[in-house]
Structure 1
Amino acid sequence: MSKQDSLPVSSVQAAGFVILANRTIVRVSGPGADKFVQGQFTQHVDEVTEGQSLRAAACTPKGRTYCLTRLVRDGNDLLMDLENSLIDNTLSHLRKYLMLFRGTTMDALPTARIIGLIGESAATAVAGNGARTLKSPGQVLQIGDSHLIRIENTYNQTPRYEWWQPNEEHACPPDVSEITLDHWRESSIAAGVPWLTQATIEAYVPQMLNLQHLQGVHFKKGCYTGQEVIARMHFLGQLKKSLYRLSFKNTNQAPEEGTRLLMNGKSAGEVVNAIMTGNQQGELLAVIRHDADPDLLSLEGQELAKLHLEPLPYPVPEQDKRTQADT
């Protein structure tokens, strides 16, 4: 992490752009591209169109998530984005299956990039009034050979977008302030959108990360790796923990990914992502048991830190203790 990225970030209400240098675009192309992706990801590729991009996960046979990504249609190809810190591990997993599809390739695009945009004014600086046609997460506007994607709002309804540039760099939006990568990560936490790290690879099934509420799991598609476990958890109502958003204060350091949350001295969950947002305060996403009492939670190793449950910008029926169904 750079010195700039380690600084406290400002309010997620501020408009701005950031080059997401922590992520790499990967192109899947060839006659078996759709079938390959269909067999490895939780999303139905037929629903990924020029006008719609969807989130997806890739999982082990035991249903444990090793990749969180977004799928984007680019002509006859499919694009996805991978965290740089995990790209080697992810591609190694996927190439075990890719060899079954002759003539199909999966290549990282080193000259491609994604720009994150916060605020409608940042999006209109890129696409003019066309950006205002993007009302819902996943909607896509073509800008030449690039793709402007509406993604999830923050909890306070601040619009967010991603500008995918797979073939050539387009100029950053003029008259829009550049923000830090940590600012973007803060907005992701405020939107209830997690990302994986080395500490959380293969730790959770997609539903524990609320991916079914982020357009990331298609429960009616055909077979894919890990589907049996994921479907059973969904249809039998076996989900016992999921992703929550919390704020913390009274500490000078954000907890590391994988840090346990304790209730009465026993493990009740783990930190997935966390970031400082100001002096001795920050926000985090954590996978927590549904039967845990948020008022009794503490951070292992940071017992003086105070935690407070914050709302997510989307409903999570599984977290209602009166209904334990996974719907």
Structure 2
Amino acid sequence: MTEVDTPRGAPIQRDVVRVWGPDALTFLQGQLSQDVDALGVHTSSWTFVLQPQGKVDAWARITRTAADEVLLDIDDGWGQALHDRLKRFLIRTKAELEVLDWPAVAVRGTGAPRGDVPDGVLRLAPPGGTVTGYDLLGPGAELPAEVEPMTAAQLRAHDVEHGVPAMGRELTEATIPAEIGDWIVDESVSFTKGCFVGQELTARIDSRGGNVPRHLRAIVLDAPVEEGTPVECDGPAATVTTAAVSDRHGPIALAFLGRAVLEGAEVTVGGVPGVVRVLPIS
């Protein structure tokens, strides 16, 4: 998928959980799917926090800010839940957790400016295997002057085009990481780091080529639909998890569809005709 060169951006809401202390990395190494020990200071990656059954509690970006400190930033409204989930396993461990309220900005496009950022602001890789640009996170984060503003709706449509999942929509306690796509497992899971919560099922599915009963797909529609609208198609019952209107494709939606529903299949969403597309939408 080719990204437009003109950089565009918008303020975004990201909750931040700070974890620090002598045992912080050791603790997180057993809780997160990412190899925390392998992260260098001032580098970041993506990680799942999983249930023992391998389903999703959280998907967050992890940034190592010091030898014994990391930041986990997650979709707005999910920081406290992430904090509480980690806190439950913090037993006889020399580590502390706190939730921070930091501003953030999303800048998208291959032409995104790469100038200096203010002290205390992090420039981080964006979510999504095919998304270009970056996020700015931290006190003082603001949209660069040379970046064209975009609305929150335009940014979410951009994310839908690229198959970027959202907590509480595509990512719920019923979601298995492989259902989102191979890219998110590749970016967020280490199969060489050793044990972590949810590892067994995740590794088993990966060894079978990511073969799961349903996959996240895009639907390009003839008219807008609402989230939660049923999708009439072959296979298991499905509903729209996210709906948007794209500048490039018009009305689009995300839904988990049975693996028998292939690229180009015709479906109906609340009476509206649509065509299934594999993500990202080209």
Question: Which TM bucket (shorter chain)?
Answer: 0.7 to 0.9
Mapped partners of 1:42, 1:154: distance in 2: 17
Of the candidates 211, 225, 232, which is equivalent to residue 239 of structure 1? 211
Question: TM (normalized to structure 1)?
Answer: 0.73
Q: Supply the AA of the counterpart residue of 2:205.
A: M
Distance of aligned partners of 1:42 and 1:313 in 2 relative to their CA distance in 1, 3 Å threshold: farther
Mapped partners of 1:203, 1:226: distance in 2: 13
Mapped partners of 1:223, 1:285: distance in 2: 32
Of the candidates 39, 62, 67, which is equivalent to residue 48 of structure 1? 39
**Residue in 1 that maps onto 2:58:** 67
Distance of aligned partners of 1:267 and 1:303 in 2 relative to their CA distance in 1, 3 Å threshold: farther
Distance of aligned partners of 1:154 and 1:187 in 2 relative to their CA distance in 1, 3 Å threshold: farther
Q: Deviations over 1:138-170 (max 9, x none)?
A: xxxx86432212336786xx72211122xx314
Of the candidates 160, 171, 189, which is equivalent to residue 217 of structure 1? 189
5+ residue gaps, structure 1? 1-10, 128-141, 315-327
Mapped partners of 1:35, 1:279: distance in 2: 45
Distance of aligned partners of 1:35 and 1:245 in 2 relative to their CA distance in 1, 3 Å threshold: same
Mapped partners of 1:208, 1:218: distance in 2: 17
Residue aligned with 2:112, SS: helix
Question: TM (normalized to structure 2)?
Answer: 0.84
Q: Supply the AA of the counterpart residue of 1:90.
A: L
1:30-49 pair list within 5 angstroms: 30-49=21-40
Mapped partners of 1:154, 1:15: distance in 2: 18
Mapped partners of 2:87, 2:209: distance in 1: 33
Of the candidates 170, 174, 179, which is equivalent to residue 150 of structure 2? 179
Do residues 150 (structure 1) and 125 (structure 2) align? yes
Q: Supply the AA of the counterpart residue of 1:80.
A: L
**Residue in 1 that maps onto 2:244:** 275
Distance of aligned partners of 1:279 and 1:164 in 2 relative to their CA distance in 1, 3 Å threshold: closer
**Residue in 1 that maps onto 2:232:** 262
**Residue in 2 that maps onto 1:169:** 140
Q: Supply the AA of the counterpart residue of 1:273.
A: T
5+ residue gaps, structure 2? none
Contact 2:6/2:112 (CA < 8 Å) preserved in 1? no
Q: Deviations over 1:164-193 (max 9, x none)?
A: 22xx31443123222222222222222222
Aligned length: 278
1:71-150 pair list within 5 angstroms: 71-76=62-67, 77-102=69-94, 104-110=95-101, 112-124=102-114, 126-127=115-116, 144-150=119-125
Do residues 307 (structure 1) and 275 (structure 2) align? yes
Distance of aligned partners of 1:170 and 1:193 in 2 relative to their CA distance in 1, 3 Å threshold: closer
Sequence identity of aligned pairs in percent? Answer: 20
Contact 2:267/2:276 (CA < 8 Å) preserved in 1? no
Q: Supply the AA of the counterpart residue of 1:49.
A: G
Question: Which has the larger displacement, 114-123 or 201-210?
Answer: 114-123
* Structure in which a larger fraction of residues adopt helix: 1
Q: Supply the AA of the counterpart residue of 1:32.
A: D
Distance of aligned partners of 1:219 and 1:153 in 2 relative to their CA distance in 1, 3 Å threshold: closer
Contact 1:247/1:281 (CA < 8 Å) preserved in 2? no
Q: Supply the AA of the counterpart residue of 2:245.
A: M
Contact 1:151/1:162 (CA < 8 Å) preserved in 2? yes
Do residues 188 (structure 1) and 178 (structure 2) align? no
Compute the RMSD of aligned alpha carbons: 3.1
